[in-house]
Structure 1
Amino acid sequence: MAQLDDLAFFQHLARAGNLTSTARELGLSLSAVSKRLKQLETRLGVALAARTTRRLTLTAEGERYLARGALILEELDELETSLGEHTNQALSGRLRVNATFGFGRRHIAPLLSRFCAEHPAVEGWLELTNFPLNLSDHGFDIGIRVGEPPESRLVARPILMNRRVLCASPAYIDHALPIQTPADLQHHACLVIRENDSDFPVWRFERSTQSAHAPPIETASIKVSGRLASNDGEVITRLALDGHGVMLRSWWDVNEHLASGALVGLLPEWQGVRADFYAVFEPRRHVSARLRAFIEFIQRELPGRVSALPISTAQGRFPNALDTPHVD
């Protein structure tokens, strides 16, 4: 048992990244955490980490202990979970979720709240970040991401169809030049999200073609600019509602404004690229009952929170992966 406790302690330490954060998470004093790490290294006969109060750097032996230890703890968790399933026990255990700020606040947070209310023994933890975090490095059970993940080792299950939509307020449209092709956007005030130092954000579009001599999907990439920008999507939406220009935003974020008439869709023949949402997790031989249940819960509930994409903008069926997970 002491060895398993040491493994769990070291997992906390590696995820926290320093002694101070570990002490805070475990409710221990800094000296107690430092002493325990020294005792563990003495028992193993190797140095596991070089550390200060601000930073902890794993040695090669520490990396090995962390990686192999994670597998051992995961096997134990899966064993206990599988035994509980056979005895019809209620869902229980930790469920750590990573999602982006906008979608996480608007949809994942309330869904996690409902899920934990229905399963009181589940310990939910939602961490919102600007960009997706590595699941294993940060101890997450599941990540909510836009687009299929580039990591081939992750399992991805689709949870919501989504596409970026070009739109503006009626007030802006009434006083602006017509927009008949994507190239016309170069003569308009475009509201852009700036997440780097690029001078000209690029907006990408696609449309179906009817010609037998052309590819089934025609694409267009347009460099746009404008005097108003932000690194936050909600700010961009607010600026568009106030009539400051044209924006390209996700369907999940603007569908209610389009339905109410506060925003008007533009270039109906051209669509922004697909930006579907996926739940991703590390592959394992036994997926815990709480993780399976949460994925099925958000797959079932999300469509009721976001109206379906119009047929003209969906352009393709969303794969059904309730039973068969997709591995990128």
Structure 2
Amino acid sequence: MAQLDDLAFFQRLAQAGSLTATARELGLSLSAVSKRLKQLEARLGVTLASRTTRRLTLTPEGERYLVRGAAILEELAELEEALGAQRAELSGPLKINATFGFGRRHVAPLLSCFCARHPGVESTLELTNFPLTPGEQGVDISIRVGEPPDSRLVARRILANRRILCAAPAYVERMPRLAKPADLAKHPCLVLRENDSDFALWRLTRRGAAGEEQAVKVSGPLASNDGEVIVNLALDGHGIVLRSWWDVHAHLESGALVELLPTWQGVRADFYAVYAQRRHVPLRIRAFIAYLEQEMGRRVPPLPATETARQGVSSP
């Protein structure tokens, strides 16, 4: 039906946020997208959006058409999915957002395997420095550190993770005394500059002492906005790094890096798959999240059960 096509078109238009972006996503000319919006408004007899080629702002009527239209399309998708459940075939678009390092290393390979099993799924993986909220720019699932505060979002933990304080054996052999977190101020620390965060403030918690946390201002002659670069600098013996378990566990196991300050540990930084809370969550979204939960633990070994350090380095 033409009305359903119009609803779907307007959903894409609102998610894209501009006529130009919609034209690019649909593979149409800008004039064709503009013409279709005008035809839709003429049929409804209302103005749905004020627009330029770069930005689209919905009118109150447009907001109502968007919200009610989404509910109608969702009910239709639920009906079709229920009727086709016997085939057990996944299909439809799936847009995922993740950070660059974790997205490249782990989300991308798993998405590749998932789509090979379900060729009917049309997926996009968008990597960004800042996490996108589900619904923003058409994102279905956001892979992020920590649970979001928004109660309208559902968060499923896919990986238990903690930041680890470590350095290469070559640096450990010559490093100054390191007995407590405050001593880090005397060491060259390899800091990650990203997301406008206070990158030079490292937070550590004492093992076995609930709630005891220390924040240490660190510095060093080398820094980067890329986590892989930071780890490589640590492997080359340039100083101390505070990086996630998922990123350094293989180097710790091989001995290329050594965990430091065995009585202290970095704060938790668990990864979650976040999606919008709604009455009907498409099967492809639920299936991919379940796949992440199942497979991520096979790619990254679990944190030690007692979360005790490997043989670290400290002075009495």
Task: Give the TM-score, by structure 2 length.
Answer: 0.92
Question: For 1:28-54, what per-residue CA distance to the aligned partner results, in whole angstroms no more than 9, with x for missing partners?
Answer: 222111111111111222222222222
What's the counterpart of residue 25 of structure 1?
25
Equivalent pair of 2:143/2:271 in contact (CA under 8 Å): yes
What's the counterpart of residue 240 of structure 1?
234
| Residue 200 of structure 1: how far off its partner (Å) | 6.8
1:159 is aligned with what amino acid?
A: I
| Residue 217 of structure 1: how far off its partner (Å) | 3.4
The verdict on how the C-alpha distance between 1:48 and 1:170 changes in structure 2, with shifts beyond 3 A counting, is same
Q: Distance in 1 between matches of 2:236 and 2:213?
A: 30
| Identity in percent | 69
What secondary structure is seen at the aligned counterpart in 2 of 1:102? helix
Unaligned runs of at least 5 residues, structure 1: 210-214, 316-328
What secondary structure is seen at the aligned counterpart in 2 of 1:166? strand
Unaligned runs of at least 5 residues, structure 2: 310-316
What's the counterpart of residue 137 of structure 1?
136
CA RMSD of aligned residues (A): 1.9
Equivalent pair of 1:208/1:217 in contact (CA under 8 Å): no
Q: Does 1:226 align with 2:220?
A: yes
What's the counterpart of residue 84 of structure 2?
84
Equivalent pair of 1:200/1:223 in contact (CA under 8 Å): no
Equivalent pair of 1:92/1:123 in contact (CA under 8 Å): yes
Residues matched between the structures, number: 309
What secondary structure is seen at the aligned counterpart in 1 of 2:212? strand
What secondary structure is seen at the aligned counterpart in 2 of 1:96? strand
| Residue 311 of structure 1: how far off its partner (Å) | 2.5
What secondary structure is seen at the aligned counterpart in 2 of 1:183? helix
The verdict on how the C-alpha distance between 1:64 and 1:309 changes in structure 2, with shifts beyond 3 A counting, is same
What's the counterpart of residue 121 of structure 1?
120
Question: For 1:281-321, what per-residue CA distance to the aligned partner results, in whole angstroms no more than 9, with x for missing partners?
Answer: 11222333222221221111111111221233289xxxxxx
Q: Does 1:162 align with 2:161?
A: yes
What's the counterpart of residue 318 of structure 1?
none
Equivalent pair of 2:204/2:215 in contact (CA under 8 Å): yes
What's the counterpart of residue 37 of structure 2?
37
Q: 2:261 aligns with which of 267, 280, 285?
A: 267
The verdict on how the C-alpha distance between 1:103 and 1:199 changes in structure 2, with shifts beyond 3 A counting, is closer
1:229-308 matched pairs, under 5 angstroms? 229-308=223-302
What secondary structure is seen at the aligned counterpart in 1 of 2:95? strand
1:193-212 matched pairs, under 5 angstroms? 193-195=192-194, 201-209=200-208
| Residue 203 of structure 1: how far off its partner (Å) | 0.8
Q: Distance in 2 between matches of 1:287 and 1:135?
A: 12
Q: Distance in 2 between matches of 1:291 and 1:112?
A: 12
The verdict on how the C-alpha distance between 1:145 and 1:200 changes in structure 2, with shifts beyond 3 A counting, is closer
The verdict on how the C-alpha distance between 1:314 and 1:127 changes in structure 2, with shifts beyond 3 A counting, is farther
What secondary structure is seen at the aligned counterpart in 2 of 1:192? strand
The verdict on how the C-alpha distance between 1:198 and 1:82 changes in structure 2, with shifts beyond 3 A counting, is closer
Question: For 1:54-108, what per-residue CA distance to the aligned partner results, in whole angstroms no more than 9, with x for missing partners?
Answer: 22222232222222222222222122112221x2331222222111111111011
| Residue 220 of structure 1: how far off its partner (Å) | 1.0
Equivalent pair of 1:163/1:313 in contact (CA under 8 Å): no
Q: Distance in 1 between matches of 2:159 and 2:199?
A: 30
Question: For 1:100-149, what per-residue CA distance to the aligned partner results, in whole angstroms no more than 9, with x for missing partners?
Answer: 11111101111011011111112122111111112113222211111112
Q: Does 1:104 align with 2:98?
A: no
Q: Distance in 1 between matches of 2:185 and 2:59?
A: 53
The verdict on how the C-alpha distance between 1:199 and 1:295 changes in structure 2, with shifts beyond 3 A counting, is closer
